[in-house]
Amino acid sequence: MFKKPVFLLLILLAVVLVFALKASALSQPPTKPSLEISNQEVEFIINKGDGLREISQNLVAQKIIYNSLFFKFYTVVSGNAQSFKPGVYHFNPNTSSAKLVNLFSDKSPLINIVIKEGETMLDIESDLVAAKVLSKANLSNLKPAEFAPDFPFLKNTTSFEGFLFPDTYHFAFDMKAEEVLKIMLNNFKIKAWPMLKSHRNYYQLLKIASLIEKEVTSESDRALVSGVIAKRLSLPMALQIDSAIAYAECGKRFTSCDDKLRVVTEADLKFESPYNNYKNLGLPPTPITNPGLSAINAALHPKASNYLYYLSEPTTGKTIFSTTLDEHGTNRVKYLINTNQ
């Protein structure tokens, strides 16, 4: 018969042995040995409110782990049952359960997203939803007046268009739309506003920059196009910029717009919209894109020339300038009409 201390020691050794076996299993890749090992990263999402049960079930459903018991066991004994952070995680599918627990309980991963020059607010909203920064498309529901106290440049504006500064952002998972917008507006305040704040007509300049951003890519050509826009505004003469019409016809989107809608036809010139600057003199009511520093700089520094017309060569994107309507008509036939036939 075992004495009581010896019996207790055996129980303790048994518990240690169980822990050792579990730890050994947890240190191995969670995939089945018979499966082909892949080094391609998998994506796994922990939503706000997900508990250990839901998380382990989702891991099994995605075949990231094959035994939820070991995963839950290690989570509990390591003291991380309540420590998992919601977020979008990327990792090698052969990551052990122990490392997954440590990964999920460390900190929420940031989502890196590039907002490109020339995207519209609705384009950006779609990007943010796709990247899971926003859970739904509600950025466009917000009103500039709500943010004007912190960002005075929004005063008397009706749209955030033009103020969502294109850049690389590091957002968290499932953020509030207000938080995202404040980050982007603050970035505009830091990087673009210093260039504009001394100009009383800064909003007009931002509109011009948005047109330039969508019309021209070359730095030198942008200054010349800025000069053409300034000259036409002073005459006054209709700007006749196709991108403004496309902005309206595409529902204020460019990245998801049908290519056919981007090409302005004769019928489009009669399109009823304040953005139709073939029919309406002056600038559109709002910017049509969110321009970068290059386009803003071009709007601030228009280059004088004899040019009054321009078009973009479809295949190369080169800007073709002309001084007279006849010359412009010849260029249209040469670079646009003949090219499309």
Condensed to tens digits (0 to 9), the pLDDT of residues 165-181 reads: 999 999 989 999 999 99
The Cα–Cα gap between 123 and 114 comes to 12
Residue 146 — very low, low, confident or very high, per pLDDT cuts 50/70/90? very high
Of 58, 76, 109, the residue that ends a domain is 109
Of 146, 166, 195, the residue that ends a domain is 195
Task: Tell me, yes or no, whether 219 and 327 share the same domain.
Answer: yes
Q: Give 117-153 as a DSSP string.
A: TT--HHHHHHHHHHTTSSSSS-GGG--GGGTTTT-GG
Task: Tell me, yes or no, whether 287 and 189 share the same domain.
Answer: no
Task: Tell me, yes or no, whether 46 and 142 share the same domain.
Answer: no
29 within some domain: no
pLDDT at 28: 46
Lowest mean pLDDT among 48-52, 133-137, 232-236, 337-341: 337-341
Task: Tell me, yes or no, whether 166 and 269 share the same domain.
Answer: no
23 within some domain: no
DSSP-based helix, strand, coil % in the chain, nearest 5:
45, 10, 45
Task: Tell me, yes or no, whether 328 and 205 share the same domain.
Answer: yes
Task: Tell me, yes or no, whether 152 and 204 share the same domain.
Answer: no
Q: Give 273-307 as a DSSP string.
A: STT-TTTS-S--SS-SS---HHHHHHHHSPPP-S-
**Which tokens is 64 given?**
């990231």
Task: Tell me, yes or no, whether 219 and 315 share the same domain.
Answer: yes
Of 109, 135, 168, the residue that ends a domain is 109
Rg of the chain over CA atoms, in angstroms? 29
CATH classification of the domain holding 69: 3.30.1490.480
What is the number of domains present in the chain?
3
The Cα–Cα gap between 263 and 245 comes to 9
- Overall average pLDDT of the 117-146 stretch: 95
pLDDT tens digits, one per residue of 8-32: 554 554 444 445 445 544 444 544 4
Residue 313 — very low, low, confident or very high, per pLDDT cuts 50/70/90? confident
Residues 6+ apart with CB under 8 A from 209: 162, 287, 291, 295, 296, 298, 299
pLDDT at 339: 56
Q: What percent of the chain has pLDDT over 70?
A: 86
User: Model-level pTM?
Assistant: 0.78
State which residues form the domain around 251: 199-340
